[in-house]
Amino acid sequence: MKRREAIQGTAALILFLFAVLFDFSFIPQWSARLPHESWRLLWHIARIREIMGALAVLNIIGLVSLRTVRRKLQIL
Which sequence spans correspond to the domains of the chain?
Answer: 2-75
Count of residues in the chain: 76
CA distance 44 to 49: 9
Q: Do the beta carbons of residue 63 and residue 5 sit within 8 Å?
A: yes
Per-residue pLDDT of the chain (76 residues; tens, 9 = 90+): 677 777 777 777 777 776 666 655 555 555 555 566 666 766 777 777 778 777 777 777 777 777 777 777 776 5
Among 69, 64, 76, which Cα is nearest to 12's?
A: 64
Contact by Cβ (8 Å): 22, 59: no
